[in-house]
């Protein structure tokens, strides 16, 4: 008689076998995981051993990256006892102006119309030489040189001290030729050099992306804000050290104004900027220093924050609070 298997015993054996398989599988996975972790740790240690650790002296943590404070920066413009007269000395526009403007800062000139702020701005690169019968007494020094001394090369001065006017004034030629005009007038003829100057200047003026595909188009086809930035690019192409801006956003809408203000904040890394503005809000947004003029006199000149929060002179307080002007 052939013996028969007990079905219950056979079923139990199968369950025991499956349980053992699961246990073995988990053990294998755990072993692989541990092995992988050990290999990873070994790689980390090997990597650490290849790095040379250099000890840094405590003083080196600051001296290499610390930027000079505003008060410690070099004075690049110095105005000394400046008197300015129109009409052969019969009409005084500026009286005994004394101030020093520091490198890589933005200085705002504020004050009511006719107070002399634009006259002083134009005096810094001798644009007032184009006005008949003016009389100037005192000195304006740019990088230590009195620009009103006899024998000063005015054309060279205006290369060093660029000017951006109240109303955008692009030439009625192409965008490219507008920017290239200054370098060409200085005798630069190398096309590759001109191309690089044009691109660099348009990039710094935050205009390159807008016009790079339309460089041969007329500059007069640009919007008002773009035309003003083109004029800034044209000034930058001359590689000046100082940029003078006479109400550069007065004819622009708020969006274009914001773009020019953002540009000014970027440009001060490379240039010293002096801006005339009637906007108190603009002065607080873009300038490091503010000078308040009234009736041809410099009433107060200080850090912008101090001028607008704690002015020393009652006249300054009255003007910035809107009591007159």
Q: What is the pTM of this model?
A: 0.76
- Predicted local distance difference test score (pLDDT) of residue 57: 55
- The CATH label, of 3.40.50.410, 3.20.20.70, 3.40.50.360, 3.40.50.300, for the domain at 70-320 is 3.40.50.300
Give the position of tokens 């990597």: 47
pLDDT value for 271: 94
> Per-residue pLDDT tens for 202-233?
999 999 999 999 999 999 999 999 999 999 99
Q: Which residues of the chain have pLDDT under 70?
A: 1-24, 40, 43-67, 325
Query: What is the per-residue pLDDT for 15?
Result: 54
3-state secondary structure labels for all residues of 116-160: CHHHHHHHCCCHHHHCCCCEEEEEEEECCEECCCCCCCHHHHHHH
Quote the pLDDT of residue 161: 95
Tell me which DSSP letter residue 107 carries: E
State residue 59's pLDDT score: 52
Q: What is the pLDDT of residues 228-258, one digit of tens each?
A: 999 999 999 999 999 999 999 998 999 999 9
Q: How many CA atoms lie within 13 A of 123 on its CB side?
A: 27
CA gap 57, 63 in Å, rounded: 11
């Amino acid at each position: 008689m052939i013996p028969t298997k007990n079905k219950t015993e056979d079923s139990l054996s199968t369950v025991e076998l499956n349980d053992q398989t699961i246990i073995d599988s988990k053990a294998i996975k755990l072993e692989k995981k541990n092995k992988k972790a050990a290999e990873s740790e070994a790689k980390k240690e090997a990597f650490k051993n290849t790095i040379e650790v250099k000890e840094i002296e405590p003083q080196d943590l600051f001296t290499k990256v610390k930027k000079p404070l505003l008060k410690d920066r070099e004075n690049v413009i110095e105005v000394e006892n400046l008197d300015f007269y129109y009409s052969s000395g019969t009409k005084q526009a500026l009286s005994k102006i004394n101030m020093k403007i520091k490198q890589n800062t933005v200085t705002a000139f504020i004050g009511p119309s006719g107070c002399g702020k634009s006259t002083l701005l134009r005096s810094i690169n001798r644009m007032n030489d184009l006005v008949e019968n003016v009389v100037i007494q005192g000195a304006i020094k740019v990088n230590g040189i009195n620009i009103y001394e006899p024998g000063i090369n005015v054309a060279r001065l205006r290369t060093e001290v660029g000017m951006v006017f109240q109303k955008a004034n692009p030439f009625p030629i192409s965008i490219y030729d507008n920017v290239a005009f200054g370098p060409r007038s200085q005798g630069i003829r190398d096309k590759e050099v001109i191309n690089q100057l044009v691109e660099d200047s348009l990039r710094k003026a935050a205009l390159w992306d807008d016009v790079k595909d339309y460089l041969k188009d007329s500059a007069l086809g640009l919007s008002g804000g773009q035309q003003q930035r083109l004029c800034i690019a044209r000034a930058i192409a001359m590689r000046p050290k100082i940029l003078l801006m006479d109400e550069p956003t007065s004819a622009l809408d708020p969006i274009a104004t914001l773009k020019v203000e953002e540009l000014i904040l970027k440009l001060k890394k490379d240039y010293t900027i002096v801006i005339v503005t009637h906007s108190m809000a603009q002065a607080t947004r873009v300038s490091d220093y503010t000078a308040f003029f009234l009736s041809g006199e410099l009433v107060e000149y200080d850090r912008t924050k101090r001028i607008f929060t704690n002015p020393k002179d009652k006249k300054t307080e009255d003007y910035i609070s809107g009591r007159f002007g």
